[in-house]
Amino acid sequence: MPRLSDPTITKGNARWALLKLYKDDPYFMKEVNELRSPYMGLLDGFAVDVLAFFLREDTPSDLSKALFDYWTGKSKDNPLPPEQFYQLFPYFDQFQPYFDGLRDLAYRWKLTAPWAVHVLFLFDMVDCWRARGMPDEVEMPLEKFDSLFPWEPPAAPFTITVPAWAIILLGRQRVLKEIARRVKQYEKELKISGLKEYPSALETHASWWFEHYVKGLDWGQIADKIAKVAPGGGPQPENIRKAVNQFSKLIGVQPEDK
């Protein structure tokens, strides 16, 4: 069975896939770097302060979920009201000219969405953390995944107990086969509950969106470009247009067509 995905995660992955294309564009990044250059010291300090705050013993363990509920409108209670926020980060207002510049830059580059500035700023934070040695990937025990995202999991955890006698009498291969069978059944139950398969063409559709709206290629030009390297000739222009329109709905960005 293809990998399943939560709708919120799929939407986030779509935005992330598109922003990676922007980050790979030298002209876009030239503008970003020129814009953020005067703020690098401030950005680095904020990145360090944010991590320090969430690692503090007196920071509530459920704060990220509470913030997510507030930002998405599920709760009217702000768990980090302005007076507390500015006590923690008294210099944050100094970012406002940078945020204004990011918004103008995003709109000029067809990122006409309220989330654009937030995600670009998050990329700044990630760059600062990586410069300080944060690895691209971190190994995490399976038991910790329920605490990874700030919203309710789609189902109760899958659990299985394997007695020592099962290993001794059946052997590792038979035990692993039984575990695999039960995991497959659990996946079926998750799908029945409403989870969808992760769209395997997500990154491809992001690239088509970028080529059309940012690079200015029309649907036929994109199809011709694909046909030169695709063994079967590639998709038709109309199918590319439909896929890009669906991707636009997914990420919440619908620029004016050319």
How much is the pLDDT for 241? Answer: 95
| Chain centroid to CA 200 | 15
State the average pLDDT over residues 67-88. Answer: 82
pLDDT at site 73: 67
Rg (CA), the chain: 23
Task: Kindly indicate the confidence band of residue 6, based on its pLDDT and cuts at 50, 70 and 90.
Answer: confident
Cα 155 to Cα 148: distance, rounded to the nearest angstrom: 15
* Whether pLDDT at 42 is above 90: yes
How far lies 153's CA from each of 7, 52, 60, in Å? 12, 27, 19
Tell me what pLDDT residue 150 has: 64
**Average pLDDT value for the chain:** 88
In the predicted model, is pLDDT for residue 70 greater than 90?
no
- Residue 65 vs residues 33, 71, 167: alpha-carbon distances, Å: 32, 10, 39
pLDDT band for 135, please (50, 70, 90 cuts): confident
Question: Mean pLDDT, to the nearest integer, of 114-128?
Answer: 89
Model pTM score: 0.81
Q: What angle do CA 196, 200, 203 make, to 5 degrees?
A: 120
pLDDT at 145: 72
Q: What percent of the chain has pLDDT over 70?
A: 94
pLDDT in tens, 84-93: 889 999 999 9
pLDDT at 151 over 80: no
219-227 helix and 237-251 helix, angle to the nearest 10 degrees: 110
pLDDT band for 134, please (50, 70, 90 cuts): confident
Task: Please indicate whether residue 141 or residue 245 has the higher confidence score (pLDDT).
Answer: 245
Across the range 113-124, mean pLDDT stands at: 88
In the chain, what percentage of residues exceed pLDDT 90?
52
Distance from C-alpha of 66 to C-alpha of 248, rounded to nearest angstrom: 28
pLDDT-derived band at 152 (thresholds 50, 70, 90) equals confident
Q: Average pLDDT in the 172-176 region?
A: 96
pLDDT band for position 18 (50/70/90)? very high
Determine how many CB atoms are found less than 10 A away from the CB of residue 64.
Answer: 17
Is pLDDT above 60 for 170?
A: yes
Q: What is the pLDDT of residues 197-233, one digit of tens each?
A: 888 899 999 999 999 999 999 999 999 999 888 777 7
Is residue 146 over pLDDT 80?
no
Residue 258 has pLDDT above 60, yes or no: no
